[in-house]
Structure 1
């Protein structure tokens, strides 16, 4: 069981200073419902929590863009517990010299991204990912099935990252090698040995990336997504990727050699096209309803949303099984496009999972079935207050934490 007992935000978007204790809304704090008008800061709070794991959060924002207007940096810190053992994770952007240490990431503002575990600099980002993972749902993902493959690829890579913390490094290394090759291809006098070196690196990382994606797809397809139990349709996932097809028939080292040869053969055509025609960046994720084999792209908006939620719930259960620890669930506007039956199925599923879940919505009424089981909060003016109509009054933080 993972629990969240305290979240502190400093100069994060519209929050100048916030100390939030989810369990002080009349429940155990495992499920929290945040409501409020558009622009009140609901998604900002979910995004802040998503920044506690490596990456750019659920919005994919630049690190310098999330700090409050006029602030010199930002910070997010949380106190959590796994099976009763408490730990703290913090991250932020600072311009103070000598403060970063440990795992840092550059930012365009000149500051540095800092990660800390239990008050000490994290040795690297993988150490943070090993301690905590998060799964999220955003309204932008409602268009996942009808837009281009890049969004589906990023979605899949986030799922992989939750189980394999080194995956982000492999993706970044692949993209860096690919961009280096693209630059060299634009110069007709480039030494072929330099191109060969970039292609060798690109092939190695592309195979690692595609193998990790293939592994996760296999795990999710093999997971017992029991629709009667979850209330959501089971999905079949498929990778449309030449490298993955090769991996199904040959060992990884053989596929690396094949890809290296293909990149060499395609230099002229790739130079003319301005980019690589083969690599990890060309993969697409195809989804369909397991029971009917109907592609997700042909389903209604409600059916697509149900498939997506079913995948996320199956993924959360897989994380808990494989890692021995549950993920943090961040669901932004999850009830949009869901009928009453599916809404109640989602509530039941969240209450079964051994993980904290945060849900947002404009009004609390659609979440009424959770009354007495979830904490209800109203966001606005850079604050988070309990909704007294749906739960007990929040007494406020201890005197030492009041700001």
Structure 2
């Protein structure tokens, strides 16, 4: 069994799943069935066992099963470094999402100390050619896997920045209103950049040390403007930029403007100029590198959520991906339209078939197809 795994997953009125119960043994999990049957909903449920809004970034009320509109609940038993945890997260109509860990109410950031979860979904296929927001989220998800407190730093920074932006839009000029917020932004901002730099270094080391069928990506964290490397100077930069920010109605400098650049090392080509297949391979390479780095430093690879990943790979690279996941010892939840997409896994995986009946998903655990 992997050092980090979901052992039992229970869903109640979550999206298309009225009720579902599945037990796992730490092996990769192949989930197959027709489009629209509810496969990705399983992955989304697992993604909510980590901090944040999950792999779809959906509002909690959007996850309610429409037929009954009763709210939803996800329960899981998780093994993390030989410790067992019970996690429950749920949402009731007109109430926010709630969380209990081992029977006690907890903030979402506490999930980062239990479950490290990474994902690739089809919408990320354009990661290298669309806006920087998606690349920052991708990097921050990996960064949180190395340093769970990164989530708190990001939340602190974003909350202070929203307040500062409100002052800017209201054309408030009194410096006293800004000083405390800019101090918070500077403290959190320096931590954010340091955490991101560390994550990139970990990913580079893991790629360099690996024997892999996937291409190596050289990564660089870039900024819209030169940012200070200490809290005092960054705070002074925020203060000096107030007039320009006021004209724009928002904060124009800071780690929220950073970007992640990647280069296909073997070809020396920016990821944005690579083919669609090469861009996907680079993403997979980074996910695998993240897993290797965590297996070394945290003691276990992260839980991987790979939605429709097999459909974009030829048979040779698909087999290579499965081999690397199994060698890593990661519990990977993977979806596909049919069991033939996972035939290279054979008995190394568990299998779940998802079917649909009048808008309700039916989950059936299968023997080797």
With normalisation by structure 2, the TM-score equals 0.92
Give distance in 1, aligned partners of 2:154 and 2:289. Answer: 24
Deviations 1:337-390 (A, max 9, x none): 3222211110101111222111101122122111222222221222112456x4
Aligned pairs for 1:65-76 within 5 A: 65-69=62-66, 70-76=68-74
- Corresponding residue SS for 2:253: coil
1: CA distance between counterparts of 2:80 and 2:259? 35
Q: What is the Cα deviation at residue 287 of structure 1?
A: 0.7
CA distance in 2 between counterparts of 1:244 and 1:364 reads 50
Q: Secondary structure at the match of 1:320?
A: helix
RMSD after superposition: 2.0
CA distance in structure 2 between the aligned counterparts of 1:271 and 1:85, rounded to whole angstroms: 50
Query: Given the superposition, is the C-alpha separation of residues 364 and 189 from structure 1 closer, same or farther in structure 2, using an over 3 Å criterion?
Result: closer
The correspondence for 2:114, drawn from 113, 125, 131, is 131
Contact 2:169 2:250 in 1 (8 A): no
Take 1:245 and 1:292, find their aligned partners in 2: how far apart are those partners? 30
Of the structure 1 ranges 279-288 and 348-357, higher mean CA displacement relative to structure 2 is found in: 348-357
Residue 81 of structure 1: how far off its partner (Å): 2.7
Map of 1:14 onto structure 2: 16
1:97: which partner in 2? none
Pick the aligned partner of 1:376 from 351, 354, 363: 351
Pairwise CA distance, 1:226: 5.0
1:81 to 71, 79, 82: 79
Deviations 1:104-145, CA, capped at 9 Å, x for gaps: xxxxx5313222223x11444343221111111101111100
Q: Could you tell me which residue of structure 2 aligns to residue 48 of structure 1?
A: 45
The one of 216, 232, 238 equivalent to 1:234 is 216
- Give me the whole-angstrom Cα distance separating, in 2, the residues matched to 1:21 and 1:203: 45
Asked if structure 2 preserves the Cα contact closer than 8 Å seen for 1:243 and 1:280, the reply is no
Q: Which residue number corresponds to residue 102 of structure 1? A: none
Distance 1:83 1:155 in 2: 25
Specify whether residues 35 and 199 from structure 1 end up closer, same or farther in structure 2 by C-alpha distance, changes over 3 A only. same
Shift of 1:283: 0.2
Deviations 1:168-207 (A, max 9, x none): 2211211122221222123345422112222222222211
The answer to whether the Cα contact below 8 Å between 2:91 and 2:97 also exists between their aligned partners in 1 is yes
Distance in 1 of aligned mates of 2:311 and 2:126: 13
Q: Tell me if the contact between 1:139 and 1:333 (Cα under 8 Å) persists in the aligned partners.
A: yes
Instruction: Report the Cα distance in structure 1 between the residues aligned to 2:110 and 2:170, rounded to whole angstroms.
Output: 40
Which residue is 1:111 aligned to? Answer: 95
CA contact (8 A) 1:136 1:331 kept: yes
CA distance in 1 between partners of 2:185 and 2:84 (Å)? 41
Q: Could you state the TM-score of these two structures normalised by the residue count of structure 1?
A: 0.84
Secondary structure of 1:286 counterpart? strand
Match of 1:396 in 2: none
Pair member with larger Rg: 1
The answer for unaligned runs of 5 or more in structure 1 is: 23-27, 95-108, 248-254, 392-403
The residue matched to 1:77 in structure 2 has which SS? Answer: strand
Relative to structure 1, is the Cα distance of residues 3 and 262 closer, same or farther in structure 2, using a 3 angstrom cutoff?
Answer: closer
Q: Which residue of 2 aligns with 1:251?
A: none
1:202 maps to 2:191: no
Quote the residue 2:34 is aligned against. 37
Among candidates 361, 364, 367, match of residue 385 of structure 1:
364
Q: Number of matched residues?
A: 362
Deviations, residues 286-314 of structure 1 (Å, cap 9, x unaligned)? 01123332211111111111110000001
Residue of structure 2 equivalent to 1:307? 282
2:20 equivalent to 1:5: no
Q: Give 3-state SS (helix, strand or coil) of 2:55's partner.
A: coil
* 1:74-125 deviations in Å (ceiling 9; x for gaps): 111112334655432221113xxxxxxxxxxxxxx5313222223x114443
Q: 1:42 to 1:225 in 2, by over 3 A?
A: farther
Looking at structure 2, the residues matched to 380 and 225 of structure 1 have their Cα atoms a distance apart, in angstroms, of 42
Cα distance in 1 for residues equivalent to 2:213 and 2:179: 51
Deviation at 1:3, TM superposition (A): 3.6
Matching of residues 326-337 of structure 1 within 5 Å = 326-337=301-312
- Give 3-state SS (helix, strand or coil) of 1:90's partner: strand
Which secondary structure does the structure 2 equivalent of 1:89 belong to? strand
User: Measured at CA, do residues 200 and 87 of structure 1 come closer, stay the same or move farther in structure 2, by a change above 3 Å?
Assistant: closer
